Amino acid sequence: MPFNKSTAKERLQKKLMARKAEALDPASEMLIDLAEAVNNVQKLMQRRVDENAAITELGESEAKLKALLAKKKEKDNEAALQQT
């Protein structure tokens, strides 16, 4: 069988394309893994933001409750003084 230049070139191109595809597969998988990791970090950051907002809201509610309790105590003391 005589050496066919175009066939040899085609075989080399096919091998090259196959190697490129093999090289891209791990890179693609790494990009997917990286995207998943970034997504997980974003979820964790959002959770932290939500937790901080809840803590702030709790602190504000606690302050309001303390103020209301102080007013009630003051009114109770005034009522006790008026009864005596």
In this model, does residue 6 exceed pLDDT 80? no
Q: Give the pLDDT confidence of 17-72 residue by residue, as tens digits.
A: 888 877 777 778 888 899 999 999 999 999 999 999 999 999 999 999 999 999 99
What local confidence, expressed as pLDDT, does residue 62 receive? 97
Statement: residue 3 has pLDDT above 70:
no
Structural domain spans, the chain: 1-84
Taking 70 as the threshold, does the pLDDT of residue 1 lie above it? no
Give the amino acid at 38.
V
3-state secondary structure of 28: helix
pTM for this one? 0.53
CA–CA gap between residue 49 and residue 62 (Å, rounded):
20
